[in-house]
Structure 1
Amino acid sequence: MITPPFKKILIANRGEIAIRITRACRELGIGSVAVFSDADRDSLHVFLADEAYHIGPSPSKESYLNYRKILDVAKQSGADAIHPGYGFLSENPTFARACKEAGIVFIGPTPENMEAMGDKLSAKAQMKKAGVPLVPGSDGAIETIEEAQEVVKKIGYPIIIKASAGGGGKGMRVVRADHELESAFRACRSEGLNYFANPAVYIERFINDPKHIEIQVFGDTHGNVVHLFERECSVQRRHQKIIEESPSPSVPNDVRLKMGDASVKAAKSINYIGAGTIEFIFDNKTKEFFFMEMNTRLQVEHPITEQVTGHDLVKEQIWVAKGNPLSFTQDEVKQTGHAIEARICAEDPETYQPHPGVIRACRHPQGPFLRMDSYAYPGYEVPIYYDPMIAKVITWGDTREEAIDRMERALSEFVLTGIKTNIVLHKTILQHPKFLDGSYTTQFIEKNFEVLEPEIFKEIEDPLFLISAAITAYQDRQSKDVRRLNVASNWRRIGRKMQLRT
């Protein structure tokens, strides 16, 4: 990647992923354009980009989801490509088409890729044709309770009902007996209609205590598709991931290779372009795996794949979007060591509710083989309008044990005051026997941490935490204005742009 593929890239996102993409652009010699809402005027991604433009009020519908405004800014700034990050517009085929019509490259898969895999029913049909293993269940949408009953007779309980257009845990119900079926069926159809404007639902056999394993895939416009092995994402609450690791401690190597091959087959069947993830349900007892869905975008947990393979996925996205072939072959992708990612959220660890507010003190952990993807800083006000994740801690080790030890050390150094965070939850998970032996499943949090006992909240008794917090607080008091980063003094506003002062 000697010659920059693009002159300037607009990053249609916020927070840590916007910073991640900005850094890739800088390393490639590409100009970066940030966009921000009212709530994000003081966000770190605004200060780090080469230019920044205001795009509207705080609610995402009026700013980060306003693709027409984002396209206007792209034209105004002279950007020749847009990177959507994840969330917001990243899997919106209408936006991807609008970019193409405007003569701007969308750094991601084609609209056809998104549409093929965006609806779970059409995705299952496509995977069936491609020969990818599927969970036993209905062949298509279930329209009536009578149809649902017929499917149950064939596959038995327990089952899971899913909204065809669902996501994020919405429109999903586990049913274990006949008397639960009708109410769950109606609830899923209602949620599908209310959240996704699509009431279609389907039924699958529910696998008790499964693993959630996903495979990173990458395709280019020349027909090449590779996989970059798996990520274990089973530590989750209400279908939201908390900790991820690679490789999985449970998947045997022969199964790992089969999952990789199935994922490549799945991506090739739709001529997939760019970064994508094939998600599987993995039965830890039988070692069987079944296709669940495909995410046609970069994943939040992509750093652990980067750490164990050595491949920069964001740079590769940019490279492939220009029409270049993949910069590596399947034979060149190797897993080395072990990586873990902990998602740090501004939330109350006792109630799991978001906890926005002003960060009073912030000290990020440092040290060897530690990566921090964060937009937190002292004085920053975490807004109420967006996802509460404010940082990701990623550690690497020669072994899984070393990666865990390094994560524990990193979390003990991480200081965030003024808001509540889930750091203590991560510390507790890392010490749990089921996590340590790798036998945890997607029911791990529900069975062990759904209600945390008050006595585990011992963070303030950690001497290292107290010392670090005191030092950070003292440094904050020396600043006349903790509402801005020190770097902000090196910037000046020119209209709606942010340019470095020389």
Structure 2
Amino acid sequence: MTTPLPELSGEAQALALRLPAPKMKKAKEHGFSDFQIATIFQTSETAVRELRTHCGVVSVFKTVDTCAAEFDAKTPYHYSTYDEENESVRSDRKKVIILGGGPNRIGQGIEFDYCCVQAVFALREAGYETIMVNCNPETVSTDYDIADKLYFEPLTFEDVIRIIEHEQPLGVIVSFGGQTPLKLSTKLDKAGVNILGTSSDGIDLAEDRKRFGALLEKLDIPHPDYGTATSFAEAQEITRRIGYPVLVRPSYVLGGRAMKIIYSDDSLKEYVDQALFITEKYPLLIDRFLETAVEFDIDAIADRTDCVISGIMQHVEAAGIHSGDSTSILPYYNIDPAAIATMKEHTRKLAENIGVIGLMNVQYAVQNGKVYVIEVNPRASRTVPFVGKATAIPVVKIATRVMLGEKLSDLRREFDLKDCDELGLKHMAIKEPVFPFSKFVKSGVYLGPEMRSTGEAMSLAESFPEAFAKAYQAANMHLPLSGTVFISVNEQDKNQRILNIARELYRMDFDLVATAGTHAFLTGHGIECKKVFKVGEEGRPNIFDIIKLGKIDFVINTPRGERALHDEEAIGSASVQSGVPFVTTIEAAEASVRAMDCIRCQEFGVKSLQEYATYRDR
């Protein structure tokens, strides 16, 4: 029997009896990760790493042969393998490692790659050797000409810590690559790695639902009622306390994956039954859903004692639509100044109490004049490139220098930083999502908390209607200048706003058609329109048939409730297949009608980003 190794922990010694060094080496050479080995032997990843290191089974780094063996490759482009010779030579320069966003997918993509690349430029300018760790060949950050050194490795603790041990950097940046590297912060911190920017404890404070909830209570900042559950019974108890509708989602998701708005116990049970992984460690998160609220994204830069709000973006779509799928307006438009002041105050309080150093994103919902915090992300958000280009402020560069230890108060003077309200923008910027519905016609088109967009376009103009019209064109959608508009709104939207929209369309010589309830409301206020059948209503042709026949040029449909959303799917699918633009909120309808009128009345000009940047008051 093998004698236990006294210098190892008890768990690692137990593993050594079952997995001797030769077998450990063979397993690693065959591609088994520490996590996989730990799972097979029912032990911890820490014990596997401890034993592996003790046995001298460590990876080395090879250089990618970009010259196909014709010449000696000089590119600083490396990957790890379990071999003998290490081809990555550590320099004696001061260096910083940046963790990228990993594989691009819906919910995490090029926006984070932009942040990583801009951080590389800022670090180089500050005199640091830059080391990039990422594993997506389609991103700019994995171009070997960008960083001084590139490691093409998975973003796992095992792979990242090995690079850190080899390179010995001054610190590691985890907050520019989105959620993927952010989740490594706690493990890296426990391993003694210097995390540049917000501490791992600050990151956990914002990510942990219970800790974050306690912080909001302490700061007296309103938030939607919430709870966590590990079973249907617990989930049902929470919904009885906070009321339907609720927003449910698994813990630690990206891009709103598997999020859903639930309106009844039956739908809740169906969701819980289909959930694949709900445990004490990864519970189901349940939030009170604020229907008809207006959402906002705030991007800020902070350094524990100071906070600069770099952008306040208003979503055109109502609450419940993932921020990546929302049309965002910068600066905000037509909102009570008191609500803006409240959001700015909450943002500064949160930055100070979380201990944010660098970038931070806060999402808010405003309902009936009351401001609610939805979530805080102490990292770069997908809106950062948009804000930077729209405001001509190098947001990532400033945040990087803050993370390196510079004072934000000094950078305020260098970059003429003021808060968002005082930026002096004389133009409007709009971020418009681009969807793949025309390619995937059976995927369903209703927008919700799970991200669906696969890209985005940006438009700039001196007025809101022109910017909105350009955004439609940039996203390859074409607003009609004549024809027939279908209108169907929920009870809450049967108010003066829809009357104004209908009158404007009538003034522009559009014909109007509406379902029974909306038809009665419009005609009751003297607006001429024709009545059509709803989807599923007795009588044909219904609105689905009429859209498919090409007789509708624009759709305004504001569903509310589970049944209405089901009908909207049919209407939306018909619209996509027929190439008909459609909107699902009153806000989007108002903006679209103003954009139509703008297209009819003026010709659009073209200016560069640099020209728009000069419009900012200095």
TM-score in same-fold range (> 0.5): yes
From 171, 175, 183, the counterpart of 2:270: 183
Aligned to 2:185: 94
Aligned to 1:128: 217
1:200 counterpart = 2:316: no
Asked if the contact 2:301–2:309 (Cα under 8 Å) also holds between the matched residues in 1, the reply is yes
More strand by share: 1
Aligned to 2:15: none
Compute the TM-score of the two structures, normalised by the length of structure 1. 0.63
5+ residue gaps, structure 1, are: 1-5, 57-62, 354-386, 412-422, 459-502
- What is the CA distance between 1:296 and its match in structure 2? 1.9
- What is the CA distance between 1:46 and its match in structure 2? 0.5
Asked if the contact 1:232–1:247 (Cα under 8 Å) also holds between the matched residues in 2, the reply is yes
Distance 1:262 1:125 in 2: 15
Asked if the contact 1:234–1:241 (Cα under 8 Å) also holds between the matched residues in 2, the reply is no
Question: After the TM superposition, which of the residue ranges 445-454 and 307-316 deviates more from structure 2?
Answer: 445-454
Deviation digits for residues 67-103 of structure 1, max 9, x if unmatched? 4434544665675444442335342253673498245
- What is the CA distance between 1:316 and its match in structure 2? 1.7
Indicate the structure (1 or 2) with the bigger Cα radius of gyration. Answer: 2
Q: State the SS of the aligned residue for 1:114.
A: helix
1:398 counterpart = 2:447: no
1:50 and 1:298, CA in 2 relative to 1: closer, same or farther beyond 3 A?
closer
Aligned to 1:484: none
Matched letter for residue 453 of structure 1: V
Distance 2:356 2:99 in 1: 22
Aligned to 1:53: 150
Deviation digits for residues 162-190 of structure 1, max 9, x if unmatched? 445445334544332344343345555x4
Aligned to 1:289: 371
Distance 1:170 1:264 in 2: 29
- What is the CA distance between 1:117 and its match in structure 2? 1.3
Aligned to 1:210: 293
Asked if the contact 2:113–2:177 (Cα under 8 Å) also holds between the matched residues in 1, the reply is no
Alignment of structure 1 residues 445-464 onto 2, 5 Å: 449=572, 452-456=575-579
Matched letter for residue 454 of structure 1: Q
Distance 1:304 1:88 in 2: 19
From 429, 435, 438, the counterpart of 1:339: 429
Distance 1:269 1:331 in 2: 22
Distance 1:408 1:211 in 2: 21
1:241 counterpart = 2:324: yes
1:92 and 1:145, CA in 2 relative to 1: closer, same or farther beyond 3 A?
closer
Distance 1:442 1:168 in 2: 23
1:132 and 1:12, CA in 2 relative to 1: closer, same or farther beyond 3 A?
same
- What is the CA distance between 1:21 and its match in structure 2? 3.6
1:451 and 1:34, CA in 2 relative to 1: closer, same or farther beyond 3 A?
farther
Asked if the contact 2:247–2:259 (Cα under 8 Å) also holds between the matched residues in 1, the reply is yes
1:266 counterpart = 2:350: yes
Aligned to 1:29: 125
Matched letter for residue 168 of structure 1: G
Distance 1:33 1:154 in 2: 50
1:144 and 1:82, CA in 2 relative to 1: closer, same or farther beyond 3 A?
closer
Q: State the SS of the aligned residue for 1:122.
A: helix
1:351 and 1:90, CA in 2 relative to 1: closer, same or farther beyond 3 A?
farther
Distance 1:42 1:225 in 2: 31
Distance 2:464 2:177 in 1: 28
Asked if the contact 1:251–1:287 (Cα under 8 Å) also holds between the matched residues in 2, the reply is no
Matched letter for residue 216 of structure 2: M
- What is the CA distance between 1:116 and its match in structure 2? 0.7
Asked if the contact 2:313–2:332 (Cα under 8 Å) also holds between the matched residues in 1, the reply is yes
- What is the CA distance between 1:321 and its match in structure 2? 0.8
Question: After the TM superposition, which of the residue ranges 341-350 and 258-267 deviates more from structure 2?
Answer: 341-350
Asked if the contact 2:244–2:264 (Cα under 8 Å) also holds between the matched residues in 1, the reply is yes
Deviation digits for residues 336-392 of structure 1, max 9, x if unmatched? 232122455778644487xxxxxxxxxxxxxxxxxxxxxxxxxxxxxxxxx998865
Asked if the contact 2:249–2:259 (Cα under 8 Å) also holds between the matched residues in 1, the reply is yes
Aligned to 2:387: 305
Question: After the TM superposition, which of the residue ranges 178-187 and 444-453 deviates more from structure 2?
Answer: 444-453
1:179 and 1:95, CA in 2 relative to 1: closer, same or farther beyond 3 A?
closer
Distance 1:127 1:401 in 2: 37
**How many equivalent pairs are there?**
387
From 69, 78, 99, the counterpart of 2:159: 69
Distance 1:184 1:389 in 2: 23
Asked if the contact 1:161–1:202 (Cα under 8 Å) also holds between the matched residues in 2, the reply is yes
Distance 2:557 2:302 in 1: 32
Deviation digits for residues 388-437 of structure 1, max 9, x if unmatched? 9886543333332233344456x2xxxxxxxxxxx43x5569x9999xx8
Distance 1:388 1:82 in 2: 32
Q: State the SS of the aligned residue for 2:182.
A: coil
Asked if the contact 2:303–2:407 (Cα under 8 Å) also holds between the matched residues in 1, the reply is yes
Aligned to 1:376: none
Matched letter for residue 180 of structure 2: L
**Pairwise CA RMSD:** 4.5
Deviation digits for residues 137-180 of structure 1, max 9, x if unmatched? 35x43456555545444443323334454453345443323443
Asked if the contact 1:108–1:273 (Cα under 8 Å) also holds between the matched residues in 2, the reply is yes
1:40 and 1:148, CA in 2 relative to 1: closer, same or farther beyond 3 A?
closer
1:254 counterpart = 2:338: yes
- What is the CA distance between 1:298 and its match in structure 2? 0.4
1:20 and 1:239, CA in 2 relative to 1: closer, same or farther beyond 3 A?
closer
Alignment of structure 1 residues 33-44 onto 2, 5 Å: 33-37=131-135, 40=137
Distance 1:220 1:129 in 2: 21
Asked if the contact 1:347–1:388 (Cα under 8 Å) also holds between the matched residues in 2, the reply is no
Alignment of structure 1 residues 376-391 onto 2, 5 Å: none
Asked if the contact 1:307–1:396 (Cα under 8 Å) also holds between the matched residues in 2, the reply is no
Distance 2:558 2:391 in 1: 25
1:161 and 1:390, CA in 2 relative to 1: closer, same or farther beyond 3 A?
closer
Question: After the TM superposition, which of the residue ranges 264-273 and 40-49 deviates more from structure 2?
Answer: 40-49
1:328 counterpart = 2:412: yes
Q: State the SS of the aligned residue for 1:49.
A: coil
Asked if the contact 1:8–1:80 (Cα under 8 Å) also holds between the matched residues in 2, the reply is yes
Matched letter for residue 55 of structure 1: F
Distance 1:199 1:81 in 2: 30
Q: State the SS of the aligned residue for 1:314.
A: helix
Q: State the SS of the aligned residue for 1:249.
A: coil
Asked if the contact 2:157–2:184 (Cα under 8 Å) also holds between the matched residues in 1, the reply is no
Q: State the SS of the aligned residue for 1:259.
A: helix
Aligned to 2:246: 159
Distance 1:26 1:70 in 2: 22
Asked if the contact 1:93–1:114 (Cα under 8 Å) also holds between the matched residues in 2, the reply is no
Asked if the contact 1:219–1:225 (Cα under 8 Å) also holds between the matched residues in 2, the reply is yes
